[in-house]
Structure 1
Amino acid sequence: MGDSLNVFDYVKKYLPKSVADALDGLDELGRYALKEIRIRRNMPVVFIINNIPSFADKYSGITHFLPKTPLIVDDVGFDEMLNAMCEYSFYSKINTMKNGFITLENGSRVGICSTAVYDDNALVSVKDVSSVAVRIPRQAVGCGMEIVKALFSNGLCSAIVAGKPSSGKTTLLRDMARELSSGFNSRYRKVTVIDERNELAGKVGKFFTLDVGVNTDVITGFEKAMAIETAIRTLSPDVIVCDEVSTLKEAQSIKFGFSCGVHFLLSVHIGSFDDLYRRTVLRELLESGFFKKIILLDDSYTAKIIDCQEIYDEADRKHIDNFFLADSRNYHGE
């Protein structure tokens, strides 16, 4: 819990003083349960605590109901906050902002809503940011132990963590990497974490703020496909861990890794159980035949481990044709 509080204090320094003061009113459990802070120009600030929206009264602290005098961030305060998040160089963050987010130095992701700027049908910039959603990375040491025992007590296998946004996929992946790297079953596995958005390890400068294990190498900021192939060629990993696999190029790099004897732990976004056999990228990954387990997370962070064979059987039961023959035209941007 202490590591999460360090992240909490780090994020606080970017926020308007009024928001930081409201957060100071949370007890330790409240700070640990805080998942997001949503700040919209001239609108009530929303705190997502245990997946429940809450508000701050300017005079009496945080409440589950919209108060008569809610905490609001005005234009000046919003712009000051945004400038700080951009390290006082808006255009240094344009590449990620075009994709809808800013990543703070410690790996905390800030989603943004803005207006697109096009030139000859190409997205070149954004402007007029109207709201931000600050996500708080959670270091829940030990949360993956039971899953690690269930999956890896008899050796390594490759697995997919699947769930909706904010279901705990990144937190679980991080702890699984830590367990495998740090002596589970008296083996210190060589783990490589591909941390494209700096959310798994939270690197600040030369140092990591989140524990991913004693025998773990971290590649930060590189596109996943390139980083996976680099890791395979240079680091001889037993296991590669990566978050939010979503493109054909990434899937192909993973399949290249399988041909080199590497195991993978990765996460994917799904909206429902049906996505497990309908999403194109998942079909491509499962078609490899190397993934043995899927860890399905629900909104309460409860995990269910299912055999990949169940997905094949369900696809057959529903008569989904060409389950293993994904059309590459469907991969663009998925």
Structure 2
Amino acid sequence: MQDIVSIFPSWLQKQLTSKIISWDQIEEIRIRVNRPVEIASSSGPRLMKEVLPSEKDVLYMIDQLSQHSIYRLEEELRQGYITMNGGHRVGISGKVNMENGHVKNIRYFSSLNIRIARPVKNVSVPYLPMIYHNSRVCNVLLVGPPRCGKTTFLRDLTRLISDGFQSWPSRKVGLIDERSEIAACKHGVPQQDVGMRTDVMDACPKAEGMMMMIRSMSPDVLVVDEIGSNQDVEAIMEALHAGVSVIASVHGDDYEEIKQRPSLQPLFQHRVIERYIVFANDKKPGIVRSVLDDNGQPLSRSMEAKKNENSRRHPVALRYNLDRI
């Protein structure tokens, strides 16, 4: 946590280190000018009512994040967040400057939201037998509401496919990370573990990034977060015609809801998605409600059990297998 603590003014560092007993449980730290610091943890939010950061304190933190040159953060400020070493993300709000109808930057800073990156590994392992078919990676769509665990699951699945796991060989993965949430790149270098054979197109629009990745890096699998536009779906169809498997996520309550969405119709009309992993809208993120086939029907338990048994019969060390490349 030293990367996070070091950006605070010294008096605020002392307050936080004295009052936060277990950093392992902390998810967010929200700093608001002249208002109490808010700590969000797995047990819920808590206000430190006696700790009131000033505007000067927020400016100090921005100065630390920019390494004393605010102009270095011009693009990040336009996006509204800064990625730190370790993959932690600092969301920013305040008064924006506009130019030609678009946000140019944020001038006056009123709030910072430090989202602590804490990788959760192997959450997708139980679902690997359903994602592979004869050693080929199926086309998969993760479905769920915001903050249900889709991105964490997608990051872990990307790593496992890239590195290889047990009897499943490693694959070349192209990750289009438009919002820098999966790989959490800093200066183009992933801060999160997304696998040794994963190439990342960071902060790039999804549709353009998919086409660029296919042309330049010849991936076996494309991974993209939160599709939704017609352009996204058109790019996915192009990728599939090029023989590339696609794993994506989409906001939605369930299969039936996304099936009615006009922009996603080509995916359903051509039945190109072979697996739908539907997440529950639960207070605890990461709960998978169901896994569906290309017809939207639950995969049979017998099929799932058989594939799990086969994977146990062929144990391979969890490592990067050069002989599989």
Could you tell me the TM-score, scaled by structure 1's length?
0.75
Residue 220 (structure 2) pairs with residue 238 (structure 1): yes
Partner in structure 2 of residue 324 of structure 1: none
Could you tell me whether the CA contact under 8 Å between 2:173 and 2:199 is conserved in 1? yes
Per-residue deviation, 1:144: 1.2
Partner in structure 2 of residue 181 of structure 1: 162
Partner in structure 2 of residue 162 of structure 1: 143
Compared CA separation, residues 255 and 303, structure 1 to 2 (3 A): same
Corresponding residue to 1:40 among 7, 32, 37: 32
Residue 46 (structure 2) pairs with residue 54 (structure 1): yes
Distance 1:199 1:11 in 2: 18
Per-residue deviation, 1:153: 5.7
Could you tell me whether the CA contact under 8 Å between 1:195 and 1:218 is conserved in 2? yes
Match of 2:296, SS?
helix
Q: 1:300 corresponds to which letter in structure 2? A: K
Per-residue deviation, 1:51: 6.5
Q: 1:310 corresponds to which letter in structure 2? A: G
Name the count of aligned residue pairs.
289
- Per-residue CA deviation, residues 148-170 of structure 1 (Å, 9 max, x unaligned), is 23322644211122333332222
Q: 2:296 corresponds to which letter in structure 1? A: E
Partner in structure 2 of residue 318 of structure 1: none
Could you tell me whether the CA contact under 8 Å between 2:230 and 2:264 is conserved in 1? no
Distance 2:148 2:12 in 1: 25
Could you tell me whether the CA contact under 8 Å between 2:219 and 2:244 is conserved in 1? yes
1:95-114 equivalences in 2 (<5 Å) = 95-114=75-94
Could you tell me the TM-score, scaled by structure 2's length?
0.76
Partner in structure 2 of residue 296 of structure 1: 278
Per-residue deviation, 1:239: 0.9
List alignment gaps of at least 5 residues for structure 1: 1-7, 57-68, 312-334
Could you tell me whether the CA contact under 8 Å between 1:244 and 1:268 is conserved in 2? yes
Q: Matched residues, percent identical?
A: 27
Match of 1:149, SS?
helix
Q: 1:148 corresponds to which letter in structure 2? A: L
Per-residue deviation, 1:45: 1.1
Partner in structure 2 of residue 132 of structure 1: 112
Distance 1:133 1:235 in 2: 35
Partner in structure 2 of residue 70 of structure 1: 50
Could you tell me whether the CA contact under 8 Å between 1:35 and 1:51 is conserved in 2? no
Partner in structure 2 of residue 326 of structure 1: none
Corresponding residue to 2:234 among 236, 243, 252: 252
Distance 2:43 2:79 in 1: 24
Per-residue deviation, 1:50: 1.6
List alignment gaps of at least 5 residues for structure 2: 298-325
Query: What RMSD over aligned residues (CA atoms) do the two structures have, in Å?
Result: 2.9
Could you tell me whether the CA contact under 8 Å between 2:178 and 2:204 is conserved in 1? yes
Q: 1:159 corresponds to which letter in structure 2? A: V
Per-residue deviation, 1:23: 4.8
Distance 2:60 2:243 in 1: 49
Compared CA separation, residues 210 and 126, structure 1 to 2 (3 A): closer
Per-residue deviation, 1:84: 2.4
Q: 2:26 corresponds to which letter in structure 1? A: L
Partner in structure 2 of residue 31 of structure 1: 23
- Per-residue CA deviation, residues 277-324 of structure 1 (Å, 9 max, x unaligned), is 35454445444521122223334121123325339xxxxxxxxxxxxx
Compared CA separation, residues 180 and 194, structure 1 to 2 (3 A): same
Distance 2:263 2:88 in 1: 26
